[in-house]
Amino acid sequence: MLVRILLLPLSLLLLQACSQHDPRAFMGEVEYQQLVQTLTPYVHKKPEGIAYNERFSDRLKPYYARLQAATEGQLRFYKQQDSLHYFYYVRRDPSSLFEHYLGFGGVFTKNSLGQITFLELFFQTPRLSWQQADQRGRLLFEELLQKGHAKAYVGNRDYIKTPNADFYYNSRENRWDYTENSSWKFIQEARLEARQEDQPEVPLDAQPEADPITAL
> How do the domains of the chain map onto residue ranges?
11-185
Q: What is the pLDDT of residue 126?
A: 98
Single pTM value for the model: 0.82
At 69, is the secondary structure helix, strand, or coil? helix
CA–CA separation, 12 and 25 (whole Å): 18
Which of 85, 93, 91 shows the shortest CA–CA distance to 104?
Answer: 91
Confidence of residue 178 (pLDDT cuts 50, 70, 90): very high
Confidence of residue 201 (pLDDT cuts 50, 70, 90): very low
Q: Cα angle at 102 between 176 and 154, to 5 degrees?
A: 60
pLDDT digits (tens, 9 = 90+) for 50-70: 988 899 999 999 999 999 999
Which of 176, 153, 180, 143 shows the shortest CA–CA distance to 165?
Answer: 180
Confidence of residue 202 (pLDDT cuts 50, 70, 90): very low
Q: Report the DSSP beta bridge partners of residue 105.
A: 88, 123
pLDDT digits (tens, 9 = 90+) for 90-127: 999 999 999 999 999 999 999 999 899 999 999 999 99
pLDDT digits (tens, 9 = 90+) for 142-158: 999 999 999 999 999 99
CA–CA separation, 117 and 102 (whole Å): 24
Three-state SS string over 140-206 comes to HHHHHHHHCCCHHHCCCCCCCCECCCCEEEECCCCEEEECCCCCCHHHHHHHHHHHHHCCCCCCCCC
CA–CA separation, 102 and 196 (whole Å): 36
Q: Is the peptide bond before 163 cis (omega within 30 degrees of 0)?
A: yes
CA–CA separation, 76 and 205 (whole Å): 31
Q: Are 131 and 176 in contact (CB under 8 A)?
A: no
